Chain A
Amino acid sequence: MGIRFQEVSFHYPQNQLTYYQAIANITLDIESKNEFICLVGRTGSGKSTLAQHMNALLLPTSGTLEIFGTKITAKRDKKTNYNSLRKHVGLVFQFPEYQLFEETVEKDIMFGPLNFHTGIDEAKEIARETLKLVGLDESYLNRNPFNLSGGEKKRVAIAGILAFDPDILVLDEPTSGLDPRGKTQMMELFKEIQDKTGKSIIIITHDMDLVYEHASRVVVLYDGELIYDESPKALFKREGLEKYHLQYPSPIRVLKDLKERFDLDLDIYQRNLSDAVTALKRAVK
């Protein structure tokens, strides 16, 4: 059993008198194994807020939330060890600047494992391995995290979470600010982690191509409400997603345009470039 949302709502206090409702009545089940979920929605739709519920950084204003069997409600319970939940669910924030603080990358990655009582030598070893995993070589170990480029910072931040080996990995826009190659590499990395360890992975993203190609499940938020929770295939077969500020993946858009313009007999629902090319070749033959 992983994370279970039951009618969870959350509002931020705005000033002393008013509240801002960020998510409303979310009911959602996330398994602890083998999920690959993409969380999408326009800016301000409540994705980051939802993600921060998954490791109990935010407590629901109403409704109940269950994280690995621990019930979380609006009231902070003295008996619940919130910290131990964060070992199960690792959350990588949208902006790495909020997280990096040590003078070397190595020490920064070790921060998580040390907090969860891993020995120093073991933590050093882990830092080395996870850094390699996120695609940075060992020369980065002794660099100052503040002098890295945006994309490199992002990778170090992800390594900082991977280092303590959470069961579920939640990533808030891990691919923003990366070059196209870096994006695919990053997605492949997540796929690889999942294949190897069977961790559930939840990714917040605006990139529908990545969603269409990689996700096994898409959750769509709109104005704080959960409107769709289904496979990407089913989602992108729907008409009129534009009104939720969602874009169709580029293979679908290109093939649809070609199909209409040249009146082809063509299956437009292809998940990546090579499939699209194959389908197109077959159609024009």
Chain B
Amino acid sequence: MRNIVIGQYLPGSGFFYKMDPRTKIMGVIIMMVAIFLLETIVQLAIALAIGIVLMILGRLSIIRIARGMRPLFVLLIFTFFFQILFNREGELYLQESMTVSLSSIGGIILLTIIWRLLARFKRFRFFLLLAYLVGIFFAFSLLTYGYTFTTFTFSIYERGVEMSVFVVIRLLVIITLSTILTLTTKPTDLTQGLESLLRPLKIIGIRSEDFALIISISLRYIPTILDEANKIMAAQASRGADFQQGKLKDKIRQIISLLVPMFIIAFKRSEDLADAMETRNFVPGMKRTRIHELAFNMTDAFASLFILCSLAASIVLRVL
């Protein structure tokens, strides 16, 4: 349960940590715009390479960032296949007629069984999935024996391949950018930065301080609430609640046995927090002082320069 926490800040040194959160937030937004302006795979690949060099200079572990992206691999794979299958522009690369027949369905069932049997080698999960998909492709195209239900053609076009690679790299770069931001910025700094950036919204009546307070309290309480959920689950499991198996009717009861104490404890906690804040003289709407004021330093100046240059470069590339 712990690894789904969003604020995955990891303490470290390196220049990303020394930057003002405002620079980082603005930087990520501007860089994303710049990335969307790029038009070819080569340009994107160069952007990715520059990104990796920056990460090495900033002493971030690339392996760690890649690991943090693992949950998003499904999204990447999906985008990839979506583009390949449905983009029908440009030169035709490959055309196969596919048969849905008794033998191909049998083959797929066999493949699925083998795949599930091998599923315990978690390390190779990704390659197994790829092999499985390739296997399905060959099953449809080669196994034509037996009663045939229907046939369809599977075709891959030049633009399809290009676009799928393009979109996947673009997604990768964008995810990397935001991962760098969350990995190197404490949640509190992040909200403080947001608050400071959103301050101009006061003109239309939105108070960025309240907004920031809400975000920081929520972030602060995500791990606590998860902890509480674990404890409640343990307490109910000792009374025989089995959250994994059981009939639907039992399941519903067991989920209620989890949710009711969660809500009660969450409400109690929020009341306690409100009391604690009031006893320390927190008055909503008053100007707050801080221990660490945000400050713009040399690193920020260099970073801003770099970010603006990147944006300029991609605009130039787009226009040319």
Q: Which residues of A contact B (CB under 8 A)?
A: 13, 15-17, 52, 55, 57, 83, 86-87, 90-93, 95, 97-102, 111-112, 114-116, 146, 160-161, 164
Contact = CB atoms under 8 A, between A and B. Distances in A.
Given A57-B234, A83-B242, A160-B239, A115 B260 contact: no
Given A83-B237, A95-B231, A101-B257, 12 more contacts: A57-B234, A83-B240, A86-B237, A86-B239, A92-B238, A97-B261, A101-B261, A111-B236, A115-B242, A115-B250, A115-B254, A164-B239
A84 to B, nearest CB: 9
B256 interface: yes
A114 B247 CA distance: 13
Interface string B233-257: 0111111111000000010011011
B244 to A, nearest CB: 9
Interface string B264-279: 1100100000000000
B10 interface: yes
Contact of A98 (B232, B240, B242, B253): B232
A112 B256 contact: no
A91 B256 contact: no
B188 to A, nearest CB: 16
A159 B314 CA distance: 69
Contacts of A102: 260
A228 to B, nearest CB: 27
Contact of A99 (B2, B236, B253): B236
Contacts of A97: 261, 264-265, 268
B238 A57 contact: yes
A127 to B, nearest CB: 13
B16 to A, nearest CB: 18
B265 A115 contact: no
Q: Which of B2, B8, B256 has the most CB of A within 10 A?
A: B2
A52 B238 CA distance: 9
A115 B238 contact: no
B2 A13 contact: yes
Contacts of B264: 97, 146
What is the predominant secondary structure among interface residues of chain B facing chain A? helix
Contacts of A55: 238
Contacts of A114: 253
Contact of B256 (A95, A101, A160): A101
Interface residues of B, number: 27
A146 B261 CA distance: 10
A221 B10 CA distance: 33
Q: Which of A87, A93, A116 has the most CB of B within 10 A?
A: A93
Contacts of B237: 57, 83, 86
A93 B234 contact: yes
Contact of B260 (A16, A101, A164): A101
A161 B236 CA distance: 10
A17 B3 CA distance: 12
A54 to B, nearest CB: 10
Top 3 A-B pairs, shortest CB-CB distance: A115-B240, A101-B260, A112-B239
Interface string B1-15: 011000010100000
Given A16-B10, A52-B234, A98-B231, A164 B2 contact: no
Nearest to B261: A101
Given A101-B256, A101-B257, A101-B260, A93 B235 contact: yes
A55 B235 CA distance: 11
Contacts of A86: 237-240
Contacts of A112: 239-240
A218 to B, nearest CB: 24
A164 B10 contact: no
Q: Which of A16, A92, A95, A98 has the most CB of B within 10 A?
A: A98
A52 B236 CA distance: 12
Contacts of A111: 236, 239, 241, 253, 257
A226 B96 CA distance: 69
24 contacts: A16-B8, A16-B10, A55-B238, A57-B237, A57-B238, A83-B237, A83-B240, A93-B231, A93-B238, A97-B268, A98-B231, A98-B234, A98-B235, A99-B235, A100-B261, A101-B236, A101-B256, A101-B260, A111-B236, A111-B241, A111-B253, A111-B257, A115-B240, A161-B239
Nearest to A157: B235
Contacts of B232: 98-99
A83 B244 CA distance: 10
B261 A90 contact: no
Q: Which of A16, A116, A146 has the most CB of B within 10 A?
A: A16
B10 A115 contact: no
A90 B239 CA distance: 7
A164 B261 contact: no
Nearest to A87: B240
Contacts of B238: 55, 57, 86, 90-93, 161
Contacts of B231: 93, 95, 98
Nearest to A92: B238
Nearest to A115: B240
Interface in B144-176: none
